[in-house]
Amino acid sequence: MSNSKSQKNSKTYLKEQIELLVADLRYPSESDEKIEFFEILDTVAEISTENFKTFIGKSEETAIQTMDLELFFEPLTRSEDWFTDEEAQWAEDALKLKTVLKKKLQDLQVFRVGETEIEVFVIGKTEAGEWIGIKTLLIET
C-alpha cells in the first residue's frame, strides 16, 4: 500500500471515529446544538485567526477569537451524580472525542467565530497535513 493511500485510509478512519463519537453529542449552550465533523479541503502549513476566516468564507470584519481546548471541553466532559444514563454517555463520548483529537491531531486550535450566534471549530492537523476537527454553534445572548 502506498504511503498516500495509507494516509488517506488513516484520515477516513479518523473521520469515521470522530463522526461516531459526535453522532449524539450536543454542545451545552442556550440551544444545545449538534457537534459535527469538519475539514478544510485546502492544504496549508498552518492555520491562523486571519486565514481561518478565509477558509470558512467569513469576511475580514467577522469577530474571531481563540479558546482554550480544556475550556471548550469542560461543559461536555463534566459528569454529575444526577445525570441520566444518556447524559452520562454524552460525557463519556465527549471525553473519548477529546482524547482522540489530542492523540491524532497536531497543532490543535479552537476558534470562536461571530458574536451571539458563535460558530466554534476545534481543528488540528493530521499526519498527512490535512486540517480536520469538529464544529458546533453556541448561542450566547
Instruction: Calculate what percentage of the chain has a pLDDT beyond 70.
Output: 94
Question: What is residue 2's predicted lDDT score, i.e. its pLDDT?
Answer: 46
The model's confidence at residue 6, banded by pLDDT at 50, 70 and 90, is low
Question: What is residue 8's predicted lDDT score, i.e. its pLDDT?
Answer: 57
Residues 78-88: tens digit of each pLDDT: 888 888 888 88
CA 29 to chain centre: 16
pTM given for the model: 0.89
Residue 29, pLDDT > 70, answer: yes
Instruction: Calculate what percentage of the chain has a pLDDT beyond 90.
Output: 50
The model's confidence at residue 50, banded by pLDDT at 50, 70 and 90, is confident
How far apart are alpha carbons 102 and 96 in whole angstroms? 10
Domains of the chain: 3-139 (3.40.1460.10)
Mean pLDDT of 96-104: 96
